[in-house]
Amino acid sequence: MRSLHVAGTGMLAQQTNVEVTSNNIANMSTTGYKRRRAEFQDLIYQNLRRGGSQSSEQGTILPSGAQVGLGVKTGAIYRISEQGNLSQTENRFDLAIRGNGYFPVQLPSGETAYTRAGTFALSPEGMIVTADGFQVGGGITVPAAARDVTINAAGEVMAKIDGQVAPQNVGQIQLAVFANEGGLEAVGDNMLLATPASGAAQLGAPGGPGFGQVLQGFVETSNVNVVQEITNLITAQRAYEMNSKVITASDEMLSTLAKLR
């Protein structure tokens, strides 16, 4: 019976749906996390009667056919790039992006990753780095003699040094934008990699056309809506149960056939 296979694909689809939702809920407190959404597609169809075919020698045409669907499959899992809330912190090296853009991060492998998580600090050499010690924005070094650091909306890092009246500009943090943000590949640790689907990164100064602004002393929180995710979880659970009931009903029908004498 086709219904056994169809309901099985439905249960697998809803299992994926629950996994995506559970990952969103698990990351509701992850800095810069963007929630995901699963999209599904119907599988191929079997034609019992093909619509538009001739039904007689006189050339009459079937106005509609008879197709039986074979289930569902996962089509894609999208990343929703909606702006998260901005949470104020006490760390002067915490940065948040208001608008479009990602912070470029230099990985030990030589690759450049991109992140919205702006929880940064200083390395022993005075470079601005991520929580894992990776360089941010091409390597900006703050002088050891600096007693205060200000990062403006344009990403300029201004160090206040004793004996100098004007702050010293020690570098500028650039942002990266992509033609298709949904094509970025997530690799964990709040990092994303460019792919052929995302297109090459376009670097620019914060506040420029198409680029967001940098806010010092803030971090961007997850954009997960807990109420919405719980609702999605309940819906997926009920859909899973309904598909399991279809399998139970199909099994009972097969059992009835087996008992025929």
Looking at the chain, list the stretches that DSSP marks H as alpha helix, in order from N- to C-terminal side: 2-26, 226-258
Amino acid, res. 41: Q
Give me the pLDDT at residue 190, please.
Answer: 92
Main-chain dihedrals φ then ψ at residue 97, nearest 5 degrees: -105, 125
Please identify which residue in the block is written with the tokens 């943090």. Answer: 173
Tell whether the model's pLDDT for residue 53 goes beyond 80: no
- Say if residue 57 is in the same domain as residue 100: no
- Say if residue 156 is in the same domain as residue 95: yes
In this structure, what token pair is assigned to residue 107? Answer: 């990985």
In this structure, what token pair is assigned to residue 117? Answer: 């998580």
User: Which of 48, 50, 43, 49 has its CA nearest to residue 69?
Assistant: 43
- Say if residue 150 is in the same domain as residue 201: yes
Q: Which residue has the higher pLDDT, 99 or 261?
A: 99
**pLDDT digits 0-9 by tens, 119-164:** 999 999 989 999 999 999 778 899 888 889 999 999 999 999 887 8
Tell whether the model's pLDDT for residue 87 goes beyond 90: yes
Are residues 48 and 66 in contact, defined by beta-carbon separation less than 8 angstroms?
Answer: yes
Question: Number of folded domains in the chain?
Answer: 2
Query: Mean pLDDT for the chain?
Result: 91
Residue 125: give the domain boundaries: 86-220
- Say if residue 119 is in the same domain as residue 185: yes
- The band of 184, judged by pLDDT with boundaries at 50, 70 and 90, is very high
Rounded Cα distance, 97 and 75, in Å: 31
- Say if residue 26 is in the same domain as residue 53: yes
- Say if residue 75 is in the same domain as residue 90: no
- Say if residue 183 is in the same domain as residue 75: no
Give me the pLDDT at residue 105, please.
Answer: 95
User: Which of 132, 131, 201, 208 has its CA nearest to residue 172?
Assistant: 208
> Minimum mean pLDDT among 106-110, 122-126, 161-165, 177-181: which range?
161-165
- Say if residue 102 is in the same domain as residue 174: yes
- The band of 195, judged by pLDDT with boundaries at 50, 70 and 90, is very high
CA 217 to chain centre: 25
Give me the pLDDT at residue 258, please.
Answer: 84
Q: At what angle do helices 226-258 and 2-26 cross, to 10 degrees?
A: 160
* Secondary-structure percent of the chain, ordered helix, strand, coil, rounded to 5: 25, 35, 45
Give me the pLDDT at residue 107, please.
Answer: 92
Rounded Cα distance, 29 and 260, in Å: 58
Rounded Cα distance, 9 and 173, in Å: 48
Give me the pLDDT at residue 147, please.
Answer: 85
In this prediction the pTM is 0.84
What is the pLDDT averaged over residues 232-260?
A: 91
- Say if residue 105 is in the same domain as residue 214: yes
Let me know how many helices (H) and strands (E) the chain has, helices first.
2, 20
End-to-end alpha carbon distance in the chain: 20
- Say if residue 93 is in the same domain as residue 142: yes
- Say if residue 149 is in the same domain as residue 211: yes
- The band of 260, judged by pLDDT with boundaries at 50, 70 and 90, is confident
- Say if residue 10 is in the same domain as residue 35: yes
